[in-house]
């Protein structure tokens, strides 16, 4: 293995500041509506998380963090030959008095930080107003993704459904990227994502979604909910 991380690269969360205990450090973000804030939970916290969560507003609030797998202590040779399971977890919830919408996109990127080798994307149904605030888990396992993976680009977004000023949107916490030393046997319902068989997508990890892309997400989610 390479890198200087004394904790080792396996079986630990590679996302830094996953719950907001350290403000917005390590995250880059778009502040839609009145922007992101950090609050205490309105419901029981997911196991292992802190008492903090990131809270979105009435316009799309977006956060992104990119994990450099080599910097975290994995060697290129090991990633290419062993292709260890890369597990993704995220938890989102709502307030009781306002519905919310959430989505997540995670990409495995090549050395150029642009070529997408595998992608996980989830747009769960919106949580309606007057729902009981309970954290919902989103998860996937990347495996057999081929050689060349060097980065994990983790992006999620949220907003409310009432278009209320303030911070009534999705509440997100405990975002997690874990590289497993041994292949998982119990996937606990996680989606399995393998190497893309389509033409490789080009993605500029240095850039955030444009307003047009966020608008397209709005249209996509509206179509999903109306089906």
Please list, in sequence order, all residues whose beta carbon lies within 8 angstroms of the beta carbon of residue 157, skipping any fewer than 6 positions away. 30, 56, 60, 61, 62, 63, 102, 103, 104, 214, 217
How far is residue 167's CA from residue 185's CA, in Å, rounded to a whole number?
39
- Residue 150 pLDDT: 98
219 sits in which H/E element: helix 211-226
Domain ranges across the chain: 28-226
152-196 per-position pLDDT tens digit? 999 999 999 999 999 999 999 999 999 999 998 888 889 999 987
- Residue 57 pLDDT: 98
190-227 per-position pLDDT tens digit? 999 998 766 677 888 877 665 555 555 555 444 443 44
Contact by Cβ (8 Å): 120, 191: yes
- Residue 204 pLDDT: 82
Fold of 28-226: Jelly Rolls (2.60.120)
18-65 per-position pLDDT tens digit? 999 999 999 999 999 999 999 998 888 777 678 999 999 999 999 999
- Residue 203 pLDDT: 84
Please list, in sequence order, all residues whose beta carbon lies within 8 angstroms of the beta carbon of residue 3, skipping any fewer than 6 positions away. 9, 70, 71, 72, 73, 74
């Amino acid at each position: 293995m390479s890198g200087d991380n004394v904790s080792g690269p396996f079986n630990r969360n590679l996302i830094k500041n996953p719950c907001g205990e350290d403000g917005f450090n390590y995250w880059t973000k778009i502040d839609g509506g009145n922007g992101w804030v950090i609050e205490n939970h309105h419901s029981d916290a997911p196991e292992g998380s802190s008492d903090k969560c990131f809270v979105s507003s009435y316009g799309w609030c977006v956060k992104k963090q990119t994990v450099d797998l080599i910097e975290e202590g994995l060697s290129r040779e090991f990633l290419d030959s062993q292709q260890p399971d890369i597990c993704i977890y995220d938890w989102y919830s709502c307030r009781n008095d306002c519905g919310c919408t959430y989505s997540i996109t995670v990409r495995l990127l090549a050395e150029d930080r642009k070529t997408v080798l595998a992608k996980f994307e989830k747009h769960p149904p919106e949580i309606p107003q007057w729902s009981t605030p309970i954290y919902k888990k989103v998860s996937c396992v990347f495996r057999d993704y081929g050689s060349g993976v060097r980065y994990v680009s983790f992006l999620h977004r949220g907003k409310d459904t009432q278009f209320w000023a303030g911070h009534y949107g999705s509440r997100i916490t405990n975002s997690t990227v874990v590289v497993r030393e041994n292949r998982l046997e119990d996937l606990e319902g996680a989606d399995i994502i393998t190497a893309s068989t389509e033409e490789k997508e080009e993605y500029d990890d240095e850039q955030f979604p444009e307003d047009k892309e966020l608008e397209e997400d709005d249209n996509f989610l509206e179509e999903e909910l109306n089906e």
